[in-house]
A and B are shown apart, each in its own frame.
Chain A
Amino acid sequence: MSQNNPSTAFAGASKYVLDEELAKIVNISMAVEMPLLLKGEPGTGKTMLAHAIAESLNMRLIVLNVKSSMKLVETLYQYDTLTRLNDSRFGDSSRDVSNIEDYIKMGKIGQSFVSDERVVLLIDEIDKADTDFQDDMLDVLDQMEFDIIEIDKTISAKYRPVIVITSNAKKDLSDPFLGRCNFHHIAFPEPDMMRTIVRVHFPDISKDLLDHTVKAFYRMREFRGIEKKPATRELINWIRALNADSDFRAKDLVKADIPYLGVLFKKSPDYIIAQNSVSRMRL
């Protein structure tokens, strides 16, 4: 991704097609200084949005990939006891062993707080962690400060980061959590929007290929019994695969000859259903 057009309001980025509604929501969230919680089908660009905001506002992006076993303190800071022990035994580093602060490393949220400029903080897939983690984290983000108990010091944010949180969960997060976020659900793009998105990624795609792939793609999303429908990400990877194949001609799609189904359907039962359904598909 290229770094260009710095501005204060978010208006889209080079590889991200933004609908007007979402742009407004991003701008409002930045203005009222609230984290923005994004939900939507996997592959509809929730994570990409944070990248796009960072790119278009020319800010640094800090990504916190939430894991199920994660503890809140890890995201704030880490007290590197092992290095300290090592230093105390061998003493060949420039760090001062008696100064614990030298052994505090900032976690992702910590980094976004101590940064010297405003950053975009992406908290990806919050639903993986348990509810307590989520609530506690929002407390920290709400107050914009946390304590490092080992050195009894309070870290508060120099600049309030722009916070984007994504969730894949079909069920809602807890009420206190939701109360502290703005919310948006990214709906699956309409075919027209999808064409625009594809064109952004493949500027010199032929009209034939674009029409046929998008049409076939939406048809395939309708297959009965599919558990994980292919999303934007899959479509883009699929077109990339088709482009790479020199034997492929767009006309083949009309004859229901669909190569690289595996790019679109990643679960094996889905793949089998798709294989069976494709032969009956007519564009």
Chain B
Amino acid sequence: MFTNFFYLLRQVGIPVSPTSFLRLQKALGIGLITSIDDFYTAARAILVKSERYFDLYDQAFAHHFEGAELKEPEEFELSEVARAMLDEWLKDPKGLADALGMDEESLNKLSPDELLQYFLDRLKEQTGEHHGGGKWIGTGGTSPVGHSGYHPGGMRVGGISRSKSAVKVAMDRRYRDYSQEGPLTQAQIGEALKRLRNLVPAGPKDVINIDETIYQTMKNAGEIEIVFERSLKDRLKVILAIDNGGWSMEPYIELVQTLFNYSRAQFKELRTFFFHNTIYDNLWEDPPRFRKPFKVDDLARLDPETRFIIVGDASMAPYELMATDGSIHIEERTMKPSYERLRFIAETFPKSAWFNPKMADEWPYTRTINVIQEIFPMFELTIDGLENAVSYLMQKN
């Protein structure tokens, strides 16, 4: 039963295991699930193992069962669907105007209720295909936050329906904030960075392992046997270089600051440098990039085991990266192109990574990102990106 639903979940990218599907069958078998509401809850608890996928699940569920429930949509239910779809469409008013066959101007003049009415009328004229719900599926990255899409008339639509049926609950998309698209919080960053800890036994064996001592003593029939161990120390060194200048980084500053604040609490030895757009002869130890320069050449004297992490959008004019003397700052003159400097850093520290606050699907459109990607492995500044980066940085060899 519900095999199609199972495959649909897999298809939209929820990692559903066959075992858990069998378990759901078992739950169905013992007669616990008597309504579609029960099924919604039970299937989610059994199949979906992370709140990050709840939103996807809701969408898939709505898509799959909407058809089943809405063969003969009543007025009320239709309006529910319409509202929800409108909500999606209002993010793209032009698309909506096109779809309704009217221009944006006259759309502006309608109140949401009039708009909805108009939309419903149109919906009924057309045949079933229109509410087939193709809109619901597809992860093409619509706006990640909140319900409030842009409406030309300035009204907020959607997110107000309080309904009972599971399909409609699913349509509410209550878990949108928890999906992977959501913003990165400090705690999430901390969670990911925690993995960068590299605790290894170091130093002389000068710590008594009390449990082991007692155990061994007992095994010795009471003859005292003291067990010493080396203490655990975090020997990992991290250098964080942050692009803190210019308009291009402005939208990401809060994100980067969060990362920075958290990483300060995480590591024993952390040095932070700043730069603007890209790195030339100097990195700066002070955020205004003015008082405390640090020569890039001096990096060679540091421990090559250090993890070098760069945070920046890597977006700039190509000459800034490629040309000799490419810096846009008049006082920063150099004979080496930044490109070579970056390469030098990557060679000095074999374990290095570049975090980019821009999403990966935007990368191909910026020339300098492509070039930098050839030098440093680049990761998105998202939970998944951080996790990939951390596992890359912690690889042996």
Contacts and interface: CB of A to CB of B under 8 A. Distances in A.
A171 interface: yes
A178 B222 CA distance: 44
Given A28-B27, A31-B30, A183-B50, A171 B41 contact: no
A25 interface: yes
A181 B20 CA distance: 9
A183 B17 CA distance: 14
Contacts of B174: 187
Given A171-B192, A183-B49, A32 B23 contact: yes
B214 interface: yes
B191 interface: yes
A82 to B, nearest CB: 6
B46 A182 contact: yes
B188 interface: yes
B42 A171 contact: no
B32 interface: yes
Contacts of B185: 170
Given A183-B45, A187-B174, A172 B50 contact: yes
A52 B41 CA distance: 20
B260 interface: no
Contact of A185 (B17, B178, B187): B178
Interface residues of B, number: 37
B175 A187 contact: yes
B187 A227 contact: yes
A81 interface: yes
Contacts of B281: none
Nearest to A89: B222
Interface in A165-222: 169-172, 175, 178-179, 181-185, 187
A264 B207 CA distance: 40
Contacts of A184: 45
B181 interface: no
B338 to A, nearest CB: 34
A185 B177 CA distance: 13
B42 A25 contact: yes
B297 interface: no
Nearest to A225: B254
A234 B383 CA distance: 28
A31 B23 CA distance: 11
Contacts of B248: none
A21 interface: yes
Given A85-B222, A170-B191, A25 B41 contact: yes
Interface in B11-64: 15, 17, 19-20, 23, 26-27, 30, 32-33, 38, 41-42, 45-46, 48-52, 54
B380 interface: no
B383 A31 contact: no
B222 A182 contact: no
A160 interface: no
B169 to A, nearest CB: 9
B229 to A, nearest CB: 13
B390 to A, nearest CB: 11
A163 B191 CA distance: 26
Interface in B154-212: 174-175, 178, 185-188, 191-192
A256 B185 CA distance: 28
A39 interface: yes
Nearest to B222: A85
B66 interface: no
Interface string A24-42: 1101110110101101000
A84 interface: yes
Nearest to B46: A182
A175 B19 CA distance: 12
B191 A171 contact: yes
B186 A28 contact: no
Contacts of B17: 179
A218 B19 CA distance: 41
B313 interface: no
Contacts of A88: 222
Contacts of B51: 39, 185
A5 B48 CA distance: 32
Contact of B218 (A31, A34, A85, A178): A85
Nearest to A86: B222
B48 A27 contact: no
B46 A84 contact: no
B178 A171 contact: no
A252 B19 CA distance: 56
A28 B188 contact: no
Given A81-B215, A170-B188, A183 B27 contact: no
Interface of A: 21, 24-25, 27-29, 31-32, 34, 36-37, 39, 81-82, 84-85, 88-89, 169-172, 175, 178-179, 181-185, 187, 227
8 contacts: A28-B41, A28-B45, A32-B30, A82-B214, A82-B218, A85-B217, A170-B383, A185-B175
Given A31-B30, A171-B383, A184-B45, 9 more contacts: A28-B46, A29-B45, A32-B26, A37-B49, A81-B215, A171-B387, A175-B15, A182-B46, A187-B175
